[in-house]
Amino acid sequence: MNTFERSGKHLAIKSWQKLNSKVNAGFTTREGGNSTRAFHSMNMGFHVNDDSDKVRENRKLFSKEINFPVENWIGSQQVHAAKIVKVSKEERGLGSLDFETAIPDTDGLYTSDEDILLTSLYADCVPLYFFSPNDKLIGLAHAGWKGTVAKIGPAMINTWQEKESVDVKSILAAIGPSIGHCCYEVDDRVINEVKVALDGDIEKSVYKKNTTGNYHLNLKKLNEILLLRAGVLPENIIVSEQCTSCQNDVFFSHRKDRGKTGRMMSYIGRKGD
Ligand SMILES: [Zn+2]
């Protein structure tokens, strides 16, 4: 199946694993960790006022679940912008066991090196994943509404084309679990930015006005359209079905939990021989 599937306590992009058994990509749930209260239980975020020792324990636990040592993880301090940074083996461990060493002011990471796990944190925003099997490139981008309208998805595609000489037709993309259009209500301010991002060429499936005068925004769809316009082939895009707000027993949700909640982690890595 062409989507995010259950594998133990997390979700995995199994179709990419089938394509290349060395690639490990997926998304954590809130299950199976040590954190308590609003952070129950697998909180992966250091920046949300959870006990940092618990977060470290959670990360070590999860590194065993996916068999990818925590010393090889790289994380960034996300700021809802569209900057893309290439990382290499020298940066392994940054942001893996604390917030302070994470790559600053960055929402998009990619690498061509093996034995690195790129990581990114979520509670409703859209996790984007990128993989170019021929070029051995992997990437992650964090796309809330701000990052989405700043076009962080196309920014990754353009970077790979310009700096890595990648043929856009060879790029696979996945749009992970996030808040769905069912639960994501926004106002005019956001919709105006969406219109700008789409150059006024609005596709009906992106948002719908509701009876209160606000809108239900489909952020996954918006990201998909922007990736298609950047040249990614439709058959190369996977879109998750899960809504992080509807499934509150499985996911942390910033909206549903009214701001005080934990973080899930998106990840992608490529194992060496
Ligand atoms: Zn929902």
> Which residues of the chain form beta strands (DSSP E)?
4-7, 10-13, 23-28, 73-74, 84-86, 108-111, 117-122, 126-132, 137-143, 172-175, 185-186, 207-209, 215-217, 237-239, 264-270
Nearest to 248 by CA among 176, 180, 146: 180
Whether 88 is covered by a domain: the verdict is yes
pLDDT number for residue 204: 86
Query: For residue 93, what pLDDT is reported?
Result: 98
The three-class DSSP label of residue 209 is strand
Q: Is the pLDDT of residue 1 over 60?
A: no
User: Cα–Cα distance between 260 and 4 in angstroms, integer?
Assistant: 26
Distance 245 CA to ligand 1 centre (A): 5
**Average pLDDT of span 164-178:** 98
Separation of CA 178 and ligand 1 centre (Å)? 9
Q: Measure 247 CA to ligand 1 centroid, in angstroms.
A: 7
Residue 222 domain flag: no
Token pair 């690195």 in the structure block, residue: 116
| Residue with tokens 């809108």, as numbered in its chain | 215
**What pLDDT sits at residue 83?**
98
As a whole-number percent, the residues of the chain with pLDDT over 90 amount to 97
Nearest one of 57, 62, 71, 54 to 12, comparing CA atoms: 62
Cα–Cα distance measured from residue 170 to residue 236, given in angstroms and rounded to the nearest whole number: 8
Q: Answer whether residue 175 shows pLDDT above 90.
A: yes
254 CA to centre of ligand 1 in angstroms: 12
Number of domains the chain contains:
1
Taking only the tens place, the pLDDT of each residue in 13-26 is 999 999 999 999 99
In a domain, residue 186? The reply is no
Residue corresponding to tokens 């009876």? 211
The residues, any chain, with a CB within 8 Å of residue 210's CB and separated by 6 or more, are: 185, 216
Given a cut of 90, is residue 269 above it in pLDDT? Answer: yes
- Whether residue 253 is predicted with pLDDT greater than 80 in this model: the reply is yes
Quote the domain boundaries for residue 100.
4-180+237-270
Is the per-residue pLDDT at 2 higher than 70? no
Q: Is residue 38 part of a domain?
A: yes
CATH number of the domain enclosing 82:
3.60.140.10
Q: What percentage of the chain reaches a pLDDT higher than 70?
A: 99
How confident is the model over 140-167, as pLDDT tens digits? Answer: 999 999 999 999 999 999 999 999 999 9
Residue 199 lies in a domain: no
CA distance 219 to 160: 23
Measured between alpha carbons, how far is 79 from 35 in angstroms, rounded to an integer?
A: 24
Question: Mean pLDDT in the chain?
Answer: 97
pLDDT score of 272 more than 60 = yes
Please indicate, yes or no, if residue 185 is contained in any of the structural domains: no
Least confident of 1-5, 105-109, 229-233: 1-5
Q: What is the mean pLDDT of residues 87-112?
A: 98
**Considering the domain boundaries, does residue 61 fall inside one?**
yes
Q: Which residues are in the CB-under-5-Å shell of ion ligand 1?
A: 180, 182-183, 243, 245-246
Q: What is the pLDDT of residues 179-190, one digit of tens each?
A: 999 999 999 999
C-alpha separations of 99 from 6, 84, 106, 272 in Å: 28, 19, 13, 27
Query: Which element (helix H / strand E) includes 227?
Result: helix 219-229
Structure confidence by residue, pLDDT tens digits, 208-235: 999 999 999 999 999 999 999 999 999 9
Q: How far is the CA of 110 from the centre of ligand 1 (A)?
A: 30
CA of 219 to the centre of ligand 1 (A): 12
Predicted pLDDT of residue 86: 98
The per-residue DSSP string of 135-200 comes to: TTEEEEEEE-HHHHHTTHHHHHHHHHHHHH---GGG-EEEE--B--TTT-EE-HHHHHHHHHHTTT
Q: What is the pLDDT of residues 46-98, one digit of tens each?
A: 999 999 999 999 999 999 999 999 999 999 999 999 999 999 999 999 999 99
Report how far ligand 1's centroid is from the alpha carbon of 259 (Å).
16
Question: Is 216 contained in some domain?
Answer: no
Nearest-CA neighbor of 88 among 136, 153, 147, 28? Answer: 136
